[in-house]
Chains A and B, each alone.
Chain A
Amino acid sequence: MRRSPPAGCFSLYFSLISILTVVVICAPARPARAQEAAYFVTYAHYLEEPGNLEVALANTTGLPKNDQASYSAPWLELEYGLTGWWTAELYLEGVTTQGDGSAFTGWRWENRFRPLRSEHRLNPVLYIEYEHTNEASRIQKEIVGSGGIEFEPIGDLREARTHELEGKLILSSVAGVWNVSENVTFEKNLSEDEGLEFGYSVGVSRPIGLVASGSSCRFCAENFVVGLEAYGGLGSTEGFESGEQRHYLAPVIGWHVTSQTTLKASVGFGLTRASDHALLRVGVSYELPRGGR
């Protein structure tokens, strides 16, 4: 049976996307470039530049095992640099499952703080996020705990709302031309007692071209970033069952199409029984600089 989403929430979601799309298209073309790594899950220590707003649209397409229906989980991300040491982000997310309809799956409020003034060998960033999502959420921006995704009807899953608090310790370094980042994730479900859940992600990435050419070019090697990230859930304080853990290995690529626009893509290959076959991710981000002199 095909279920339709609640009209209010879903129309709000797409209205927001439409408004932001218009804003992005109509925005004056002023140079500003996001400090974009190509990662989807892993965070490096680079924050949004103060006063800049980055608008991103991305999607995770999951190809599950055992003949389960594939799903597509889009999200809208608004990232704002409040100061040099504090970046805040708002996420709105949804899901569409083949043969089961679509739903708005909730929102997230994320904050990243960089405690140290300058660059060091190991650069820590503290991350705190509040999530108000439902069990139909499948964007998988982070994976924690154990067990696979639930494949009950979306209509049932979206009734199960959860409030969660998530923390990350982000460590990131520069080794020559490489960025090496490690994230440890802790998540606490405030709606029910599931213990404290753990997850991880690690990533390495580098730009392809090392020298900036003097002319403006779209396909120059300097505009491309490649990398590899690994992420997964480890379990919780209630148990660490290795057979139920999900782990993924994902090559990533990013392309700075213009000074304001970045495209990125990744294919995450499931490494364990509980993982999906693959997670295909694509995203586009657009940087809006702060005006004024």
Chain B
Amino acid sequence: MCRFRVAILLLIGLGAVVQAAQLREHDARWVAPDRAAAKPNPLAGRPELAAGGHKIFVERCAQCHGKDAQGTSRAPNLLSRRVQAQTDGALFWKISSGDTRRGMPTFSFLPATQRWQLVLYLRGLHEPAARVGQVLRAIRAEVLVQIGHNASRGHQ
């Protein structure tokens, strides 16, 4: 019994070390093959299906990528330029294939339609974020102009 307990503790310890050692940073070698990356999203003209993608995201992705998809310590920000610059086909391939070395699960058990819905949702997420970014940049520019005006008045 004692040996059994020691064995269990050793295995748990080993597991904890392996889990802690698992790297989370960007894996530059995890790249979709050209043919997969070139695939267009067959649901691109059907924005109404993005709601289903949102549901899948909340159930399966938000735990690691965060509710707002902006990433956690476990998985990267899906709104980042590096992710959003990838083609729909490349995102579909990554969702389908996973990357066991970096802890990204394989989602090929989801029907292809649902994986494309997820891509549709991720693309939609980027658009509001981009709009918010544009608004913030405009506000910042406006503030800088105002500061400049005030400063020049002060000098006069």
Q: Once bound together, how far apart are the Cα atoms of A148 and B66, in whole Å?
A: 51
Q: Are A119 and B19 interface neighbours, CB within 8 A?
A: no
Cβ of B49 < 8 Å from any Cβ of A? yes
- Say whether chain A's binding surface is mostly helix, strand, loop, or mixed: loop
Report the minimal beta-carbon distance from A269 to chain B, rounded to whole angstroms: 26
Q: Which residue on A lies nearest to B50, using beta carbons?
A: A214
Q: Which residue on A lies nearest to B53, using beta carbons?
A: A212
Q: Once bound together, how far apart are the Cα atoms of A116 and B108, in whole Å?
A: 15
Q: Once bound together, how far apart are the Cα atoms of A211 and B104, in whole Å?
A: 23
Q: Are B73 and A118 interface neighbours, CB within 8 A?
A: no
Residues of the B chain whose Cβ atoms lie less than 8 Å from the Cβ of A84: 22, 98-105
Give the size range of A's interface with the partner. 35 or more
- Of the candidates B59, B62, B73, B100, the one whose C-beta lies within 8 Å of that of A292 is B73
Q: Once bound together, how far apart are the Cα atoms of A183 and B146, in whole Å?
A: 71
Residue of B55, B97, B109, B110 contacting most chain A CB atoms (<10 Å): B109
Q: Are B59 and A259 interface neighbours, CB within 8 A?
A: yes
Cβ of B143 < 8 Å from any Cβ of A? no
The residues in A between 42 and 86 inclusive whose CB is less than 8 angstroms from any CB of B are 44-47, 49-51, 80, 82-86
Residues of the B chain whose Cβ atoms lie less than 8 Å from the Cβ of A88: 11, 15
Q: Once bound together, how far apart are the Cα atoms of A174 and B19, in whole Å?
A: 28
Report the minimal beta-carbon distance from A138 to chain B, rounded to whole angstroms: 23
Q: Mark A27-49, 1 if CB is under 8 A from B, else 0.
A: 00011110101000000111101
Q: Mark A138-163, 1 if CB is under 8 A from B, else 0.
A: 00000000000000000000000000
Q: Which residue on B lies nearest to A120, using beta carbons?
A: B97
- Of the candidates B49, B64, B66, B99, the one whose C-beta lies within 8 Å of that of A117 is B99
Cβ of B52 < 8 Å from any Cβ of A? yes
Q: Once bound together, how far apart are the Cα atoms of A207 and B103, in whole Å?
A: 24
Q: Are A214 and B62 interface neighbours, CB within 8 A?
A: no
Given known A-B contacts A84-B105, A212-B55, A289-B63, A118 and B97 have beta carbons under 8 A apart: yes
Q: Mark B59-80, 1 if CB is under 8 A from A, else 0.
A: 1101110100000111000000
Cβ of B18 < 8 Å from any Cβ of A? yes
Cβ of A213 < 8 Å from any Cβ of B? yes
The residues in A between 202 and 217 inclusive whose CB is less than 8 angstroms from any CB of B are 207, 209-216
Q: Are A117 and B100 interface neighbours, CB within 8 A?
A: yes
Given known A-B contacts A84-B104, A117-B99, A35 and B109 have beta carbons under 8 A apart: yes
Q: Are B98 and A51 interface neighbours, CB within 8 A?
A: no
Report the minimal beta-carbon distance from B23 to chain A, rounded to whole angstroms: 11
- Besides A82-B15, A85-B101, 12 new A-B residue pairs in contact (Cβ under 8 A), listed by A number: A31-B58, A31-B60, A33-B59, A82-B18, A83-B100, A84-B99, A84-B105, A117-B100, A119-B106, A211-B49, A212-B55, A214-B54
13 cross-chain CB contacts under 8 A: A32-B60, A49-B63, A50-B105, A82-B15, A82-B18, A84-B99, A119-B96, A119-B97, A211-B49, A211-B113, A212-B55, A213-B51, A292-B73
- Across the A-B interface, give the 3 residue pairs with the lowest CB-CB distance, nearest first: A214-B51, A212-B52, A84-B100
